[in-house]
């Protein structure tokens, strides 16, 4: 028998069933069908699974391993991820490698970016608490003295996570969130990875199974993934690994709201490669989690904007425009004050940026110019990353009717990227440069952009 651990409810199995939108009776039908399709010799004759059996599995009354096998097949998850293992079975697992530790990937130090390399190298040396402290100091993450003391103490004694350590960890995650727009991505990635390493260790030693800790670890993992995929070139493997950790965190916490962010961000990975079919499952999951989380209008607007961009990149223009219309409807109903804390990257100004990019991809240049200029006008002066993206999109939109102005816009973007590097913006440069190759000032743009691309390495995601 499996699934008899401590007599607690199997909330993991409940979560994955709800995430598929299945009732208990539907899950019973799916397991029965799986048994029949597999011609499973453990069932002779094949029995019908009932709703009461599913209820028993979810209340830890026990799950026979033969049924557990089919649950794993249906959900494409391990028995551990579905909460089907006993304490004795869990104890058989070998000690895991420390997840996403800074020592795992020395390639994260990018000497070409122009940041202070020695600060990052220091992070990789010494004891875990020293690496954690050095990483946060290098990125100038504000840490209260009492929080630093309790977390460094936890590092050294490896005790069970206590409320003080959990609260300290959560507050530092919030501090890192606020630094995303103002801190060099290499340094912040180093700090976020070190803090994520600490978080996974805290989570493994948390006897209370606190959902707030699991959510904080998931958000930290999401920050790592965003930095690795959107900000820096050559770290896609790290991004996928971090997304996996974030998924596990929101599942453990049953945090439907943050699960929206994790799923929608994952959609960009295949979406940037114009693989709409591969992106759809993530988009569907994001929308489902949004419905389960209370249907916040601003979050709904953002999800539809992600849909719109991914569809536009896959040349599904009419579908993209449909989602933009839906996003605008939700935006009209939204209240910024009611948005979750993690949603600090979307508002009406960012919506205009999504709309402008979609119009640009559709070849509707006049509409693109109107939307992109509206977004630029509403953007804060301290948001260099997004400003560079908008300037390059605006340059592409103006390339046909006003090439000299377009060159000027593209050079402004390059100047920003030399200070605040952002891979998502750099990916746009080759297309803009090609569209302006015959412009009178093309040489000036070529020299500026070539210098930037030469420093950062080849672009491979456009």
Q: Is 259 within a domain?
A: no
Within this chain, do residues 385 and 313 fall inside the same structural domain, yes or no?
no
Within this chain, do residues 69 and 207 fall inside the same structural domain, yes or no?
no
pTM as predicted: 0.70
Q: Is 198 within a domain?
A: yes
Within this chain, do residues 365 and 320 fall inside the same structural domain, yes or no?
yes
pLDDT digits (tens, 9 = 90+) for 394-427: 999 999 889 999 999 999 999 888 888 888 998 8
Within this chain, do residues 170 and 210 fall inside the same structural domain, yes or no?
yes
> How buried is 62 (Cβ within 10 angstroms: 0-12 exposed, 13-18 middle, 19+ buried)?
middle
Query: Where does the pLDDT of residue 150 fall: very low under 50, low under 70, confident under 90, or very high at 90 and above?
Result: confident
Average pLDDT of span 348-377 = 93
Mean pLDDT score of the chain:
81
Residue 255 to residue 219: CA distance in whole angstroms = 11
Average pLDDT of span 157-166 = 73
Asked which of 324, 345, 376 is the last residue of a domain, the reply is: 376
Contact 309, 346 (CB under 8 A): no
Q: Is 96 within a domain?
A: no
Q: Is 288 within a domain?
A: yes
* Domain limits for position 43: 11-90
Domain count, the chain: 4
Whether pLDDT at 3 is above 60: no
DSSP secondary structure string for all residues of 132-193 = HHHHHHHTT----HHHHHHHHHHHHH-----HHHHHHHHHHHHHHHHHTTTS-HHHHHHHHH
SS3 380: coil
Query: Where does the pLDDT of residue 126 fall: very low under 50, low under 70, confident under 90, or very high at 90 and above?
Result: very low
Average pLDDT of span 331-341 = 84
Q: Is 329 within a domain?
A: yes
Asked which of 226, 254, 282 is the last residue of a domain, the reply is: 254
Within this chain, do residues 152 and 245 fall inside the same structural domain, yes or no?
yes
Higher pLDDT, 59 or 124: 59
At residue 172, the pLDDT reads 93
Within this chain, do residues 109 and 215 fall inside the same structural domain, yes or no?
yes
Whether pLDDT at 86 is above 80: no
Average pLDDT of span 294-304 = 94
Within this chain, do residues 353 and 421 fall inside the same structural domain, yes or no?
no
Within this chain, do residues 111 and 84 fall inside the same structural domain, yes or no?
no
Q: Is 134 within a domain?
A: yes
At residue 38, the pLDDT reads 63
User: 97-101, 159-163, 295-299, 440-444: which range is least confident on average?
Assistant: 97-101
Residue 375 to residue 274: CA distance in whole angstroms = 25
SS3 255: coil
Within this chain, do residues 223 and 111 fall inside the same structural domain, yes or no?
yes
């Amino acid at each position: 028998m499996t699934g008899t651990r401590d007599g607690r409810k199997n909330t993991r199995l409940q979560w994955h069933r709800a995430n598929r939108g299945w009732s208990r009776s539907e899950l019973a039908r799916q397991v029965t069908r799986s048994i029949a399709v597999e011609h499973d010799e453990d069932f002779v004759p094949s029995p019908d699974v009932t709703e009461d059996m599913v209820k028993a599995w979810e209340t830890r009354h026990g799950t026979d391993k033969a049924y557990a096998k089919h649950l794993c097949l249906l959900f494409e998850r391990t028995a551990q991820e579905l909460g089907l293992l006993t304490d004795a079975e869990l104890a058989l697992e070998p000690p895991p490698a420390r997840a996403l530790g800074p020592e795992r990937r020395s390639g994260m130090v990018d000497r070409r970016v122009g940041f202070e390399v020695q600060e990052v190298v220091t992070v990789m040396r010494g004891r875990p608490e020293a690496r954690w402290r050095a990483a946060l100091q290098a990125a100038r993450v504000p840490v209260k003295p009492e929080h630093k003391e309790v977390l460094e103490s936890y590092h050294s004694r490896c005790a069970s996570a206590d409320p003080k350590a959990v609260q300290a960890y959560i507050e530092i995650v919030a501090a890192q969130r606020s630094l995303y727009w103002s801190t060099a991505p290499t340094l912040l990635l180093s700090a976020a990875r070190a803090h994520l390493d600490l978080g996974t260790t805290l989570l493994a030693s948390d006897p209370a199974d606190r959902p707030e800790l699991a959510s904080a670890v998931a958000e930290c993992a999401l920050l790592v993934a965003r930095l690795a995929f959107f900000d820096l070139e050559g770290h896609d493997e790290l991004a996928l690994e971090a997304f996996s950790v974030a998924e596990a965190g929101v599942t453990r916490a049953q945090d439907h709201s943050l699960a929206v962010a994790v799923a929608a961000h994952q959609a960009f990975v295949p979406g940037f490669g114009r693989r709409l079919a591969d992106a759809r499952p993530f988009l569907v999951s994001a929308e489902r989690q949004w419905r389960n989380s209370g249907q916040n209008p601003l979050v709904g607007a953002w999800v539809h904007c992600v849909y719109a961009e991914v569809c536009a990149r896959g040349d599904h223009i009419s579908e993209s425009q449909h989602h933009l219309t839906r996003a605008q409807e939700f935006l009209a109903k939204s209240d910024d004050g009611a948005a979750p804390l993690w949603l600090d990257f979307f508002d009406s100004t960012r919506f205009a940026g999504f709309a402008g990019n979609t119009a640009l991809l559709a070849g509707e240049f006049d509409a693109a110019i109107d939307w992109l200029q509206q977004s630029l006008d509403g953007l804060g002066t301290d948001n260099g990353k997004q400003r560079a993206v908008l300037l390059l999109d605006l340059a592409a939109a103006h390339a046909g009717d006003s090439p000299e102005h377009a060159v000027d816009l593209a050079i402004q973007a390059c100047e920003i990227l030399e200070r605040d590097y952002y891979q998502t913006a750099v990916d746009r440069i080759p297309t803009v440069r090609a569209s302006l190759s015959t412009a009178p000032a093309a040489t000036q743009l070529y020299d500026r952009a070539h210098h930037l691309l030469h420093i950062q390495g080849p672009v491979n995601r456009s």
